[in-house]
Amino acid sequence: MNEDLKILKNIIRTGAVESVDLKSGTARVRFADKDNLLSSPLKVMKNSPMIVIEKEVDGESWDVTAEYATVERLKMPGMTFNKSDHDTVTLSKTIQYEKKNAIPDSSGCNYVGVIGEKTHKHTVKIYSWMPYIGQNVICVYLPIGNGDGFVIGGV
């Protein structure tokens, strides 16, 4: 029973990030309560933020297109797929610029109405969360002694 309790106490750990490998999606964590033990590279679990983007101009909403958590990510287990390093949300709106007061031109004619039309666009790129060096994180280890573990989020 004592061995089981020891294993359970090591399943969830907190520590400070020592290094991050963006390409492999891993981080090494130093555990102060374990004599400053440095972990092997731990896979960082996806920690997606909830992002709500709304844009309004004079009470009119902008058009929104989003490619976030798209269908390609929902393939059956075992299937491989390519994913970009970020998701994209694009906001766009075509705005007509008008002149309400008369604008005299060189011929003496006054002009009132649409001067021009411009399309405004804002792009938001959403990257998967990765911890930064020095950040405190929560790690979960498989209960098999000194087995593999995962970084599940920041503190």
Residues 61 and 122 in one domain: yes
Residue 116 main-chain phi, psi, to 5 deg: -165, 170
Residues 55 and 42 in one domain: no
Per-residue pLDDT of the chain (155 residues; tens, 9 = 90+): 577 777 777 789 999 999 998 888 899 999 999 899 999 999 998 766 666 677 776 777 777 776 655 444 334 444 444 445 566 777 777 777 766 666 666 666 665 666 777 777 777 777 677 888 999 999 999 877 566 899 998 88
SS (H, E, C) 34-81: HCCEECCCEEECCCCCCCCCCCEECCEECEEEEECCCHHHHCCCCCCC
CA distance 106 to 4: 91
Residues 97 and 116 in one domain: yes
Residue 109 main-chain phi, psi, to 5 deg: -75, 145
Q: β-strands 12-21, 26-31: how paired? A: antiparallel
Which of 123, 126, 113, 112 is closest to 51 using CA atoms?
126
Residues 15 and 54 in one domain: no
Instruction: Return the CATH number at 34.
Output: 2.40.50.230
Domain that holds residue 116: 49-127
The reported pTM is 0.57
